[in-house]
Chain A
Amino acid sequence: METVSPSGKSSMNSPTPIPKIKDTDCLFELQHVNVSYGQNPALRDITLRIREGETVAVIGPSGAGKSTLLNRLYEMRSDDCAFVHQQYALVPQLSVFHNIYIGRLDRRATWYNLLNLIRPRQPVIDEVMPILETLGMNEKISARVGALSGGQQQRVAVGRAMYRGGKVLLADEPVSSVDPLQGEAILDLIVNTGKTVIMALHSVTFARRFAKRIIGLCAGRIRFDLPAGQLTRELIDELYLTC
């Protein structure tokens, strides 16, 4: 049994040893994992294995435990994972460049961060430019994030995660506050980064279109875990109506 403090940091006091990862491609392995916030269990008896290169969507009604699951996965390999934040985690007063740079704030010395804040360093610009090209935002490099549209802001958030690097991209409802057209474009960006992608999604339609594997969560338990093609109308209705 694991407990997670409300801040999201878990303390490992499980008596069972962490199972060894048997196959080399496997990035995450959970076996009968429970997570609770104080008294309230948030995840119950989760058994799950995610391999490198997979594109996974986690769906389920609000409060089903999607965010908790993503946080749990992040803590397992925080060096290897980059989180796509929702746009409100961006700093609206800073430029697109600086907001993307924040992804690697922990990799550089404070004095370098300070210099780069006052005047962007050329080596950093060279690192950020290719990402901006992928995002289709080359000209916006010095635009204030607060002045951008919601969709553009969400792209910057993806850019920050891409700049952070690592094998895995985790995304907690990355498109829930942008219009569907923008949402499509952003999910397209995310699944085409060539990384392992695990995202919590609000929209079942998007989950089916962009993920190869879909996990349905309900009240902290896995209700189903299927390839996207095998997901049926009945399963979805059951997930959202009985939960």
Chain B
Amino acid sequence: MLKTSLIFIGLALAALCLADLEVTTLHPWPELGRMIRGMAAPDLLSLPGIWRAFVNTVAFALCGTFLGVALGVVLAFFFEFTPVRLFCAFIRAIHEIFWAFIFLPIVGLNPTCGVLAIAIPYAGIFAKVYAEIRQESDQRPLQGTPAGSAALSRFLYGSLPVIYQDVKHYTAYRFECALRSSAVLGFIGLPTLGFHLETAFREGHYAQAAAILYAFYLLIASVRYWAKPRFILIPIVFAFLFLSKEIYFSVDNVSRFFTYDILPWPMRRQGMLDGSRAIAFPWQDIGAWTLAVLKQEGVEGVWNTVILTQIALAFTGVLALMSFPLACVHFMGRIGRRLAHGVLIVVRTTPEFILAYVFVQLWGPSMLPAVLAIALHNGAILSYLGSQNADLVELRVDAPQKRNNRYLYEILPRVYGQFLAFLFYRWEVMMRESAILGILGIYTLGFFIDSAFADHKLDKAILLILITAVLNMGIDTVSQVIRRRLKISTKLVTSSGLGLMH
């Protein structure tokens, strides 16, 4: 484990030498001062349309999660089949924002776009996690049901009651994530909180931006009080009714998108020139076109995405290892722990994308804001999980009194394996995030995908999204191999921990 850790730190240091970490803005510190002053004096009421954005944010998240659960449950039943597993890995390897980019040309800036952008990747995640929960649950009650019963009956009586609590907790946690995703989708123009947040930040109205953020925290904090299984169907129905007024879906658009718009340019060129819109198969040109995209954008995008991910991964680990004792019983008193937990909750509730956006405003687009944003958000999650695990450690009476020794000899060795497992679990998430932060002007894959969409080169954009997905699936596989080889697992953790892994 130590060797693996050192290798990853070495990789991160090497990446650090190659990364562009420059501060390009002229006056970052006065700007930060203005931001802090804005944070201290939030102003919500002067924002027209903010309530509508609130309702939209919640409605997108509700409908997206609902559809994601519905599809995910079906997929989870067939998860042992390799094609299903690969399909799920593929749809969840593409970030919500990329899905939104894909749906934008099909349905336009429309609730359908937002809901599907959440529902599709979430379906892949739900399928995987539900299937894992089922596999790891106690099988004996299921085996106790009569063998001749229908499979669905056996599941309903022998399996569902056993896994229900875990499934419920995970789904609730995912709904919270969906609220974050929904808000962030506003940054690309959908009518959610992110839209107003972006406007406020761009125009320097930090008091308004602060107000929206605070309101968002309150919204997230309120979830546990109203998102209850018995009651949740009512808001879901309302959300669908609310959005249905604007739902737009054209089969023609969908089929044109998939059968024409995204085909490589050489296939469409001849038909475009003579006006017939016919499709041709000039294999050599298609090959040359693909190679050109790979050379011009693919290689640079992948390289920067990987560099950013590796720095962020190591930095997240270091940050979490340094900060978890602050929230742990064995190191801090009650008040200190409360304070630490408060900070951790705020940091992990803020989406990476928003953190990165703020940092880019301060320092200009480079890897510096991206690394900080990813490491802070993920570090806060890992720190929380680390402290939870460390709290479970029972120390002997004669354990070292000095905190340094206690940390190094008693706590760290006991929690490190699980900690690494969590960190590698988040690796894929960090890579997805690194790619997406490109749309803020950092030269990762997202930058090139965003540019391609802006130029209406859908073929190029889709090819680059496919590359991103494959890269993600690759990292997911490497992460699994490392976890298996180190024999570390995230088990023995409460279901709240299970939720935060993804």
User: Which residues from chain A sit less than 8 Å from chain B, CB to CB?
Assistant: 78, 85, 88-94, 98, 101-106, 108-110, 113-114, 117, 164
Instruction: For the complex, give the distance between the alpha carbons of A139 and B175 in Å.
Output: 39
CB-CB under 8 A for A102 and B156, given A91-B162, A93-B164, A94-B161: no
What sequence of 0s and 1s flags, for each residue 127-171 of chain B, a beta carbon within 8 Å of any chain A beta carbon? 000000000001011011111111011101110011011000000
Query: Pick the contact of B157 from A78, A85, A98, A109 — CB < 8 Å?
Result: A98
Q: Give A128 Cβ to nearest chain B Cβ, in Å.
A: 14
Taking a contact as CB atoms under 8 Å apart, the answer to whether B144 and A89 are in contact is yes
| Known pairs A89-B140, A110-B152, A110-B153; A102 contacts B161 (CB<8 A) | no
Cβ contact within 8 Å between A114 and B146: no
Contact check: which of B143, B154, B162, B164 meets A105 at CB < 8 Å?
A: B154
**Could you tell me the distance in whole angstroms from the C-beta of A160 to the nearest C-beta in chain B?**
8
Give me 14 other A-B pairs in contact (C-beta within 8 A), A88-B138, A102-B144, A106-B148 excluded: A88-B141, A89-B144, A90-B141, A91-B144, A93-B161, A102-B158, A104-B146, A105-B145, A105-B149, A105-B153, A105-B154, A106-B147, A110-B152, A113-B157
Distance between A120 CB and nearest chain B CB, rounded to angstroms: 13
Interface class of chain A by DSSP: helix
Knowing A91-B158, A102-B157 are in contact, say whether A110-B141 is a contact too (CB < 8 A): no
Chain A residues near B153 (CB-CB < 8 A) = 105-106, 108, 110, 113-114
Tell me whether A91 and B146 are in contact (CB under 8 A): no
- CB-defined contacts of A104 to chain B, threshold 8 Å: 146
Chain A neighbourhood of B143, CB < 8 A: 89
CB–CB A88/B145 < 8 A: no
Say which residue of B141, B150, B152 sits within 8 Å of A89 (CB atoms): B141
Query: Does the CB pair B152–A91 fall under 8 Å?
Result: no
State whether B156 touches A113 (Cβ < 8 A).
yes
A-B contact pairs, 5 of them (CB 8 A): A93-B164, A105-B149, A105-B157, A106-B147, A164-B146
C-alpha gap A164/B146 in the complex (Å): 9
> In the complex, which residues of chain B have a beta carbon less than 8 angstroms from the beta carbon of A78?
147
Q: Do residues B144 and A90 form an inter-chain contact, with CB atoms below 8 A? A: yes
Q: Collect the chain B residues with CB atoms within 8 Å of residue A101's CB.
A: 157
Q: How far is the CA of A101 from the CA of B154 in the complex (A)?
A: 12
A85 near B144 with CB under 8 A, answer yes
The distance from the CB of A117 to the nearest CB of chain B, in whole angstroms, is 6
- A108 CB contacts on chain B under 8 angstroms: 153
| With contact pairs A106-B149, A110-B150, A110-B152 given, residues A117 and B144 touching in the complex (Cβ less than 8 Å) | no
